[in-house]
Structure 1
Amino acid sequence: MLYKELFRPIKIGSVEIKNRIGMAPLQPIGLVNPGDDCYSPRIIDYYVERAKGGVGLIITGATEIENDIEKSVPGIYPSIATNPLRFIGSAGELTEKVHSYGCKIFIQLTLGLGRSAPPEWIVGQPVAPSPLPNHWNPSVICRELSTQEVEILVRKAGEAAEIAAEAGFDGVEIHAAHEGYLLDQFMIARFNRRTDKYGGDLLGRLTFPIEIVQEIKKRLGIGFPVQIRYAIKSFIKDWNQGGLPEDEFEEKGRDLAEGLEIAKILEQAGYDAFNADASSVEGYYWAHPPEYQKHGCYLDLVKELKRVVNVPVLVAGRMDLPEVAHKAIIEQKADMILLGRGLLADPKWPKKVREGNIQQIRPCLGCHDGCLTRTAILRPLSCAVNPACGREKDYGINRANIVKKVMVVGGGIAGMEAARVAALRGHQVLLFEKTNELGGHVREASVPDFKRDVYRLLAWYENELQKLNVNVNISREVSLEQVVEEKPDVVIVATGSKYAFPPVPGIDKGNVATATDLLLGKKACGDSVIVIGGGLVGCEVALWLKKKGKKVTIIEKRPNILTGGSPLSHAKKTMIIDLLNFYKVDVITDAILLEIREDGVEIRYSEGQMKHSILGDTICIAAGLESDQELFKQIEHVIPNSYLIGDARRVQNIMSAIWDAYEVARNI
């Protein structure tokens, strides 16, 4: 076995876990039972699918222990408080099913969000250790919790743990960190200005988490596992400003030295394990690392934690590359690895690693589109590359009763997904791509070093299509006559999109290149580059060019960059903005492109009439794409069963292309 250390058992407290692979806690927003906030059939199916896939431990998303002190909007969390008896019933069904696969399951308990709570998630005034501005809306001042209220929360944590044990959970995790939630705020001097027993010096600030573990152990015994999700370092650069991995700054939250000191105290208090990360609501891209963070982004910190504690250390943080996960165990940087979004993308990750089928693992892109971007607007948790995530039983792929000849035109992401799903349905599938390789615009998107997971996705699709014996035809542009000649039962048109060129003088000059041209090396790039368009493509190309040593200027017609196109998660958006600032990419907004010249461009600010010249050797066009529907318009009235999907239907993102294709193909 190639990665055998991942499959050795481990004990947390008195509980033995069959391997070193766990499911990290992810909030199942949109999947709870409306009305009683219990586990819905969808949540149960979601967790069971990961247990079937071979994880040794599942840690649930945050579960509410009370709803009077910090009253949340119904339906966001599973809640023990809303209806404890119904909760035990639904949770009991979950734990029974998970245990059937030899998997242990811990419930994560939250003490509340404090200043990190989005105001729209809270009924009434938010709370905090001290009167603090809310992170998301600083005009909202959080109310300071009374001593009695904190004592109630301690008692409620003990009661919740008892209910969890009765429901069959094998242990509990106390949610102390990750976005700097309420309990974490109590531990940080910047946010805790109290003068009672829960404030003051370091031990005073730690009284709250210490009393929680003592209360649970008093009720359930010393052997019942209680672990803590804990941020070793906050990465707070300033109020509402996180710190980048590359940046050197004075930590305004918890620094590494204090983080290690606190961990030793919490271990002595009785915590059986640390689910360790580095995060705060300011450092949101640490709490939820996007593709710009490296795989294993917490490991350098976690190895320091492991050096000072004697209980198991668990680590998440883009651990979904098997070689990174295995190396972390071998080098004793951690005792167990946790996968969050990696298991959304592929629930069978552990099974595939154990069997040596690494090339069959569907990679997580770190894009956040199906998970964080959706849950931020209270849509159900899912995954960009796995549309069945969160609706496993309702939205799977079954064999078709009648085999059909399915012709897919276009070999980008949408076309490949349509071909894959149609083949899984048992259909005869022909895939046509006019260029000499599959991938479409995603091919060039995979070039930057921070987009290598996109390349892994392309490799996964190529492997899957080969495994499913899809008839792939590259360098074959398809006409209406060829479609008619093939006599397909169904045609899926996934012809993608093409560049939208701004209609300005000089657009056809030799110094003009598309983002595709530069990424694929089709055109030479000068030392200074002007990127036209401040959407995601423009910003990522600008960052890539700057890292290659170019002088880069972004010109955007809107008041701010990253405001057009598909929505982005807060973590992804703030990190790329911080990266552009850190690497000193010049950004000009509210600017209208007037002309492209040999030595640069001429612009006018939207509020003025004066023209301005911006010098640059190469003009990179990244001002958007437009759908290519030419073939579909020819065939839609000739071939009755014809479908338009992906960018050809509407230019959006990878998730939209995959979800389009999945929906159409699974119903053929």
Structure 2
Amino acid sequence: MNTKTEWRLLFEPTRVGSIAVKNRYAMGPMGPLGLATPGGGWSPRGIEYYVRRAQGGVGLIITGVCQVTNPAEHLPAGALPNPVLNPAEFLSTSRELTERVHAYGAKIVFQAGAGFGRVIVPGMVPHGSAPVAPSAIPYRWDPSVTCREMTTDEIHAVVGNFRATGALAKAAGFDGIQVHAVHEGYLLDQFAIEFYNHRTDEYGGSLENRLRFATEIASAIHAGAGDEYPVQLRYSLRSMVKDWGVGALPDEDFVERGRDTEEGIAAARMLHDAGYEVLDVDAGTYDSWFWNHPPMYQKKGLFLPFAKVLKEACPDIPLIVAGRLDDPDLAASAVRDGIVDMVSLARPLLADPDIVRKIESGHPEAVRPCLSCQEGCIGRIEHYVSLRCAVNPMTAREREYQLVAVQPRNAKRVLIVGGGLAGMEAARVLAVRGHTPVIHEKAERLGGVVIAGGQPSFKEDDLALIAWYERELQSLGVEVHLGDAVHPGDFDPQQWDHVILASGSVPNRLPVPGAERAIDACDALLEQDSLGHDVAIIGGGLTGCELGLSLRERNHNVTIVEMLDDVLEKNSPLCMANESMLHEMVHATAGIGVATKARVSAIGSSDISVDTPAGPQRVAADSVVTAIGYRPNTELVEAIRDSGIPFNVIGDARRCANIMYAIWDAFEVASHLE
């Protein structure tokens, strides 16, 4: 091992509460959607998913939210592991999981949830039923729907199921339970926060009453598993809520409608006294979702200030803290300063299950970076009820997606046209399997459009991903030709056994007078300092909005012109957390003007003509940037087809999408090429 001196404390044995762990790294809880059996146990995919992270060196695994049966919610069987649905199935699969995780010296805590309440996704609400909540409050996904108040009998039934869960988790070999959660605006958090809880019985009113549901659960778990069995809590110190469905931005001055810091500290003390020995701390609710699930627009280590406040007020409470802590310098300083007891990595362990081992060996540059894009994780959970990762196609598919070496007699020499992410991932996978990929890239460096996309300060991890690929390809000995465009006559069947066309996309053009003056968004991202003071961006999708924020950071005056009713209505991020934060930032940033339902009719020498609902307007513009989408670059397809060489088209050359689909396309094709 060649661990950097400053990082060594991250790898010293320690204790978190009563659990002894081999290092300071925990795997943060992420919902195991798609990893359960119909009977509430762990599927083979789920077991392999966690075992793979244990192999990578993490000290403590927190499974991510599973559910006890909540009679008020009727969660579909098999949506998540559930100890009380079929105890025998849960025990048999969980025992296999815990024994295999323990073999690598890791500990594993079972995270169990009481319910979703007003934030349950529509697909899980029975037809004709209203979601339940502490009180009759608006449903998060459709405020026109009013939730039904949960009865005391239903509350008692959930508490009883936690007693059974405690006994089952202990019997299954889990090292403790983490309750989900007085956190993120889930059901227990809704009970705990006065903004959501309007009850007048013993579960409403005072803070003690509002925490009663959660404290009764801690007592029930100990009743089932014994007083010494470790019980933790996922906990949001502060809600960051301005109103229903409206979250506060970082550093914003606002009136907190949810739990404020003072109440958060008081609640933490009460919950710790009730038997929760460790708090796993963050901030936010579903009304401010970009806190609990931080996009790239949030700072690294964003929860450390919250943890510092709580630690100073309650130094006796051990804290686990996540929040973009993949930088070992930042993680080590947080431990050294006594802010955190364990550093939690969630999405970084999706991107690279070996991140802990690589940091310990002194090679953080070898870590495949998480982009905080949330396309594969939260986005896939939100829309497709399955946990994945944008940059690591093997996540939660570890066994069936193993790369199989090709027989030497079947090894192919493969021409890869294009050195963007799709081309690089295809080359990486082919080389690992024993093929001979050769990349030809017309630009002078690898990376494609991601080079431009990574220019904003908040997209640093995009550039880190390019650097990771460059190192991987170099270590694999992949032949790369830069500044070398492929032409129609270059497809020689005597030289190539297969062709992968990863030629990317070309920008759409605006059909208005003066369009020749406009600059494509990718070129503008690379030349931000030369655009002049006033910049007009035509197109308010993801690219246009991110460019606008980046330009404003550099003190440009920006106007975004969007023909739809609002920015980010088209080509927006898949994940709601990313979309909502970017939307709020664009509208809240001084120096960025937004014209919606507007069309550019002409581009002049120093301004643009815009047709708006209020009539024609002129907008000053030293530079005009078009961010109106892209179309696949397929100009070489016919030449490849005419050559007779077998081929595949991947990434944006197949369908303009995003980083995730470029990488997934490449992995799929390259992993099966025979």
Deviation, structure 1 residue 370: 0.7
Deviation, structure 1 residue 436: 0.7
> Which residue of 1 is the match for residue 291 of structure 2?
286
> Which residue of 2 is the match for residue 7 of structure 1?
11
CA contact (8 A) 1:491 1:639 kept: no
Once residues 564 and 508 of structure 2 are traced to their aligned partners in structure 1, the CA distance between those partners, rounded to angstroms, is: 17
Q: Closer, same or farther in 2 for the Cα pair 1:192/1:294, shift >3 Å?
A: same
> Which residue of 2 is the match for residue 27 of structure 1?
31
Once residues 248 and 14 of structure 2 are traced to their aligned partners in structure 1, the CA distance between those partners, rounded to angstroms, is: 34
Once residues 74 and 573 of structure 2 are traced to their aligned partners in structure 1, the CA distance between those partners, rounded to angstroms, is: 28
> Which residue of 1 is the match for residue 217 of structure 2?
212
CA contact (8 A) 1:372 1:569 kept: yes
- The correspondence for 2:108, drawn from 105, 108, 115, is 105
Q: Closer, same or farther in 2 for the Cα pair 1:519/1:640, shift >3 Å?
A: same
- The correspondence for 1:640, drawn from 642, 645, 666, is 645
> Which residue of 1 is the match for residue 659 of structure 2?
654
- The correspondence for 1:301, drawn from 298, 302, 306, is 306
Deviation, structure 1 residue 523: 7.7
Once residues 567 and 345 of structure 2 are traced to their aligned partners in structure 1, the CA distance between those partners, rounded to angstroms, is: 32
Q: Closer, same or farther in 2 for the Cα pair 1:595/1:486, shift >3 Å?
A: farther
> Which residue of 1 is the match for residue 236 of structure 2?
231
Deviation, structure 1 residue 148: 2.6
Q: Report the secondary structure of 1:385's partner residue.
A: coil
Q: Does 1:143 align with 2:148?
A: yes
Q: Closer, same or farther in 2 for the Cα pair 1:415/1:486, shift >3 Å?
A: farther
> Which residue of 2 is the match for residue 438 of structure 1?
446
> Which residue of 1 is the match for residue 484 of structure 2?
476
Same amino acid, percent of matched pairs: 42
> Which residue of 1 is the match for residue 349 of structure 2?
343
CA contact (8 A) 2:16 2:342 kept: no
Q: Deviations over 1:210-239 (max 9, x none)?
A: 222122223322221100000001000112
CA contact (8 A) 1:116 1:179 kept: no
Report the TM-score when normalising by structure 1.
0.97
> Which residue of 2 is the match for residue 569 of structure 1?
575
Gaps in structure 2 of 5+ consecutive residues: none
Q: Does 1:410 align with 2:415?
A: no
- The correspondence for 1:317, drawn from 323, 329, 333, is 323
Once residues 242 and 368 of structure 1 are traced to their aligned partners in structure 2, the CA distance between those partners, rounded to angstroms, is: 18
Once residues 566 and 419 of structure 1 are traced to their aligned partners in structure 2, the CA distance between those partners, rounded to angstroms, is: 29
Query: Residue 378 of structure 2 aligns to which amino acid in structure 1?
Result: L
Q: Deviations over 1:450-484 (max 9, x none)?
A: 00010110110111011101111111111133332
Deviation, structure 1 residue 31: 2.6
Q: Deviations over 1:520-550 (max 9, x none)?
A: 1288212111101111001100111122212
Query: What does residue range 417-456 of structure 1 map to in structure 2 within 5 Å?
Result: 417-456=425-464
Q: Does 1:116 align with 2:119?
A: yes
> Which residue of 2 is the match for residue 16 of structure 1?
20
Query: What does residue range 568-647 of structure 1 map to in structure 2 within 5 Å?
Result: 568-584=574-590, 585-605=592-612, 610-647=615-652
Once residues 493 and 147 of structure 1 are traced to their aligned partners in structure 2, the CA distance between those partners, rounded to angstroms, is: 61
> Which residue of 2 is the match for residue 354 of structure 1?
360
CA contact (8 A) 2:537 2:548 kept: yes
CA contact (8 A) 2:542 2:573 kept: no
Q: Does 1:191 align with 2:206?
A: no
Gaps in structure 1 of 5+ consecutive residues: none
Deviation, structure 1 residue 171: 0.3
Deviation, structure 1 residue 616: 2.1
- The correspondence for 1:377, drawn from 379, 383, 394, is 383
CA contact (8 A) 1:30 1:378 kept: no
Moved over 6 A (4+): none
CA contact (8 A) 1:67 1:82 kept: no
Once residues 228 and 72 of structure 2 are traced to their aligned partners in structure 1, the CA distance between those partners, rounded to angstroms, is: 30
Q: Report the secondary structure of 1:173's partner residue.
A: strand
Deviation, structure 1 residue 567: 4.9
CA contact (8 A) 1:42 1:391 kept: yes
Once residues 222 and 499 of structure 2 are traced to their aligned partners in structure 1, the CA distance between those partners, rounded to angstroms, is: 62
Deviation, structure 1 residue 440: 0.7
Once residues 537 and 133 of structure 1 are traced to their aligned partners in structure 2, the CA distance between those partners, rounded to angstroms, is: 33
CA contact (8 A) 2:493 2:645 kept: no
Query: What does residue range 510-525 of structure 1 map to in structure 2 within 5 Å?
Result: 512-521=518-527, 524-525=530-531
Q: Report the secondary structure of 1:69's partner residue.
A: coil
- The correspondence for 2:181, drawn from 162, 165, 176, is 176
Q: Deviations over 1:402-445 (max 9, x none)?
A: 22211111111111111111111111221111111111100011
- The correspondence for 1:165, drawn from 140, 156, 170, is 170
Q: Report the secondary structure of 1:353's partner residue.
A: helix
CA contact (8 A) 1:385 1:658 kept: yes
Q: Does 1:553 align with 2:591?
A: no
Q: RMSD across aligned C-alpha pairs, in angstroms?
A: 1.6
Report the TM-score when normalising by structure 2.
0.96
CA contact (8 A) 1:420 1:465 kept: yes
Q: Deviations over 1:104-158 (max 9, x none)?
A: 1111111111112223222232111111111111122111122232222222112
Q: Report the secondary structure of 1:270's partner residue.
A: coil
Query: What does residue range 321-336 of structure 1 map to in structure 2 within 5 Å?
Result: 321-336=327-342
Deviation, structure 1 residue 194: 1.6
Once residues 354 and 381 of structure 1 are traced to their aligned partners in structure 2, the CA distance between those partners, rounded to angstroms, is: 27
CA contact (8 A) 1:29 1:378 kept: no
- The correspondence for 1:497, drawn from 474, 491, 505, is 505
Q: Which moved more, 1:153-162 or 1:5-14?
A: 5-14
Q: Which moved more, 1:652-661 or 1:519-528?
A: 519-528
Q: Report the secondary structure of 1:640's partner residue.
A: coil
Deviation, structure 1 residue 583: 0.5
> Which residue of 2 is the match for residue 248 of structure 1?
253
Query: Residue 324 of structure 1 aligns to which amino acid in structure 2?
Result: L
CA contact (8 A) 1:412 1:442 kept: yes
Q: Which moved more, 1:634-643 or 1:530-539?
A: 634-643
Once residues 257 and 287 of structure 1 are traced to their aligned partners in structure 2, the CA distance between those partners, rounded to angstroms, is: 19
Aligned residues: 663
Deviation, structure 1 residue 364: 0.3
Query: Residue 200 of structure 1 aligns to which amino acid in structure 2?
Result: G
> Which residue of 2 is the match for residue 533 of structure 1?
539
Once residues 601 and 185 of structure 1 are traced to their aligned partners in structure 2, the CA distance between those partners, rounded to angstroms, is: 49
